[in-house]
Amino acid sequence: MKRIQIQFFDDFEETISTNSQASRFSLTVTGLINMLKILCSILFSAINKKNISTNRQNLTGTLTSLPSLPTLPFDLIPEILSRLPVKQLLQLRCVCKSWKSLISDPKFAKKHLALSSTYNLHGLDNHCFPKRVLKSYSLNSSVSIAQIDLPSKGYVLFLGSCNGILCLAEEGGGDLFLVRLWNTSIRKFKELPPIRKPIVERYHLGMSGFGHDPISDIYKVVVVLLAFDNIHNTGNYFSENEVKVHTLGTDSWKSVSMFPFAGVFVQKLGQYASGKINWLVSQISCKVNVLLLLLIWGMSLIKRFCYLMILVR
């Protein structure tokens, strides 16, 4: 039985504000509307309200009967800016101070994300030793659009992606997994608290996922650690799994109760969709049943998401 999987990481833009003492910068990710634009998230101040129609009536701009030099009122600027590529928006922070505040506001980032429909593909190359490289591609071209050297020494893997932010873990060395977020649009890292490796004979990083709860506006990372221990040296291995959840803005990982099906995943990376992270699991027999396991931590609906998986028997 063959299985072919094609995964896409959706690239949205989105804003994360963290109160973490460790780093004060906010990761924001926002979306872009045209296919080839790069997503960017920028924090924004609350100028633009959701209900545009109430604003519209009151705004007329400086229109005179001579159509020369019409000036657009500041309230209409976000309408235009939220349709520009992130890369350009980063430049436009230099236009003037009010534009910088506007572009840096989380509310603007969300507006930008809402208009975004760009998807990019990201891959990790662990073989450019000693470097670990992240390569990014747009969906309709095989040419790389970005290549970033990661500040990692050990083997790097994906834990998940959501709204244009990639969650990466670094293995190797010591008793910790290092975890960081990479905002693909504004190209900034955010270090998360590391995960302590289980103290057992063997362990394995199992299923993982990264998602956003739009109601509480919180990002969470989930990681399942599979531990195999040789009980009393009998040669019988006992497997147990630990499920760890990190809420962005906190400084630790919480353990949650045992996770069913953790050892029988078909696909390690959870796919984020509609406020939930989904994993494909199978029975231990050779048949493949498509079971979507929904793990919900108070997450609810967000946006669409690009995910394609093909199973071939």
β-pair partners for 242: 225
Residue of the chain from 8, 33, 171, 291 that contacts other proteins (CB under 8 A): 33
Q: Scan residues 50-69 and list those touching other proteins (CB under 8 A).
A: 53, 56-57, 59-61, 63, 65, 67-69
Residue 160 parent element (H or E): strand 156-162
Residue 95 touching other proteins (CB under 8 A): yes
Residue 260 touching other proteins (CB under 8 A): no
β-pair partners for 248: 250
Residue 215 touching other proteins (CB under 8 A): no
Q: Scan residues 177-206 and list those touching other proteins (CB under 8 A).
A: 186-187
- The nearer residue to other proteins, 21 or 71, going by C-beta atoms, is 71
Residue of the chain from 19, 79, 176, 202 that contacts other proteins (CB under 8 A): 79
3-state SS class at 290: coil
3-state SS class at 288: coil
Question: What is the distance between the alpha carbons of residues 305 and 308, in angstroms, rounded to a whole number?
Answer: 10
Question: What is the distance between the alpha carbons of residues 165 and 188, in angstroms, rounded to a whole number?
Answer: 10
CB of 162 to other proteins, least distance (A): 23
Residue 100 touching other proteins (CB under 8 A): yes
Q: Which amino acid is at 129?
A: F
Residue 72 touching other proteins (CB under 8 A): yes
Residue of the chain from 5, 23, 88, 252 that contacts other proteins (CB under 8 A): 88
H helices, E strands: number in the chain? 5, 18
Total of chain residues touching other proteins, rule CB under 8 A: 43
- The nearer residue to other proteins, 6 or 143, going by C-beta atoms, is 143
Residue of 95, 89, 96 lying closest to 43 (CA atoms): 89
Residue of the chain from 1, 143, 199, 312 that contacts other proteins (CB under 8 A): 143
Question: What is the distance between the alpha carbons of residues 241 and 30, in angstroms, rounded to a whole number?
Answer: 35
Residue 169 touching other proteins (CB under 8 A): no
Stretch that binds other proteins, among 143-151, 201-209, 233-241, 249-257 (CB under 8 A): 143-151
- The nearer residue to other proteins, 166 or 207, going by C-beta atoms, is 166
On the CB side of 296, CA atoms within 13 Å amount to 10
Residue 93 touching other proteins (CB under 8 A): yes
- The nearer residue to other proteins, 90 or 311, going by C-beta atoms, is 90
Residue 24 touching other proteins (CB under 8 A): no
- The nearer residue to other proteins, 21 or 54, going by C-beta atoms, is 54
The tokens describing 38, both together, are: 């790069």
**Peptide bond before residue 130 is cis, with ω within 30 degrees of 0:** yes
Residue of 14, 89, 92, 80 lying closest to 48 (CA atoms): 80
Residue of 313, 189, 207, 214 lying closest to 260 (CA atoms): 207
Residue 145 touching other proteins (CB under 8 A): yes
Question: What is the distance between the alpha carbons of residues 29 and 196, in angstroms, rounded to a whole number?
Answer: 28
CB of 223 to other proteins, least distance (A): 30
Residue of the chain from 12, 16, 30, 85 that contacts other proteins (CB under 8 A): 85
For 8, 190, 302, the CA distances from 126, given in Å and listed in that order, are: 19, 20, 32
Residues of this chain that interact with other proteins (CB under 8 A) are 33, 53, 56-57, 59-61, 63, 65, 67-72, 76-77, 79-81, 83-85, 87-88, 90-97, 99-100, 141, 143-147, 186-187
